[in-house]
Amino acid sequence: SWDPGAAERSARIAAIEATAHGLHWTFAPMVDIARDPRWGRVVEGSGEDPLLGSAMAAARVRGFQGADLSANNTMAATAKHFAAYGGAEGGRDYNIVEVSEQTLKEVYLPPFFAAVAAGAQTVMASFNEVNGVPLHANRRLLTDVLRGEWKFDGLVVSDWGGIQELLAHGVAATRADAGVLALKAGVDVDMVSGIYPGELPGALAQRRVAEAEIDEAVRRVLRLKYRLGLFQDPYRYSDTTRERTLTLAPEHLVAAREVGRKSIVLLKNER
C-alpha cells in the first residue's frame, strides 16, 4: 500500500482481536527484503526497498504493541526473519546467502533496525546462513550487532526447529552441539526442537555452557512476561466478553475493506 498509517492501523486491529482471544505474542511483522521473484516467500516483507521496508516494519510494531505493552489489547511483536532471509541464492527457500557487508547493512538490516528502534520485543532468527554461518549459530549478528550495536534488550526466538537444523547445516554433529551453539550465539527460546530442555542440562553438567548463560536467556523471557503484565494478571488476555464483542467487529470489517482497497496492485491498468 505504501501507506504506513494503514499498516499500523491493520496491526492495531489485529492486536485488538487476537488479544481478545487470549494471545499476547505474534510472530509479526515479517520484514524481509526480497529482490528475487523466484523466492516463494516474497510476501513476507514489504518489497525490495529498505526505506519502505523500514517504514512498514516500524508502523506494524507500533500497531501491535501500542503505547503500553501491559495493556490487555496490545501484544509483543516479532521482527522476522533475522537476517537476509530474502537473499536466498537462486530464490530457493532456506538456501545460502552470500552477501557483502555493505549490502547486508544497507539493504537487509535496516528494516530490522527500524523494528528494534520502534520497540519490538522479540526477534526471530532465520533458517539461512549468512556468508557460511547459520543464523541460529551466528553470534556476530544475534549478539554483537543486535544486542551490542543496536542495544536490543528483548528476546530472540528460534524459527520452527531452527536449532535442530544446525545439524543439517553441518556445523553441529549432535543435538547437544546445536543447543550449545545456539545458546552461545544468543538464541533465548527454542521453538519446537526440544533441544534446550533435553540437552542443555547435560551440557551444563559437562561445563560446555555456563549457568550464567542459561540464566541470561531465562531472564529475557521473564522480562518480557513482566512487561506484558503476565505476573500481575496471567489471565489479562482471556476475556470472553471482549472476544465476542471485538471479533470481526463492524468497524474492523470497514477498516479491512479500506486497507485492502489501498493495497490492491494493478498488474494492468486499462481504462
- State the pLDDT confidence band at 264, using cuts at 50, 70 and 90: confident
CA 193, 197, 199, 203 torsion: positive or negative?
A: positive
Cis, bond preceding 83 (omega within 30 deg of 0): yes
Q: Collapse the DSSP code of 121 into the 3-class scheme (helix H, G, I; strand E, B; otherwise coil) and give the result.
A: coil
Tell me the pairing of strands 133-134 and 78-82. Answer: unpaired
The answer, yes or no, to whether residue 147 has pLDDT greater than 90, is yes
Report which secondary-structure segment, H or E, holds 8.
helix 4-20
Task: Note the pLDDT of residue 122.
Answer: 98
DSSP category for residue 135: G
| Catalytic residue numbers, as ranges | 159
Give residue 214's pLDDT: 98
C-alpha cell read off for 45? 516483507
Please determine, for residue 271, whether its predicted confidence score (pLDDT) is greater than 80: no
Residue 267 has pLDDT above 80, yes or no: no
- Tens digit of each residue's pLDDT (9 = 90 or more) over 68-118: 999 999 999 999 999 999 999 999 998 999 999 999 999 999 999 999 999
CA distances to 17, 29, 249 from 145, rounded to whole Å, are 34, 20, 42
Q: Could you read off the pLDDT of 149-189 as tens digits, one per residue?
A: 999 999 999 999 999 999 999 999 999 999 999 999 999 99
Predicted TM-score (pTM) of the model is 0.96
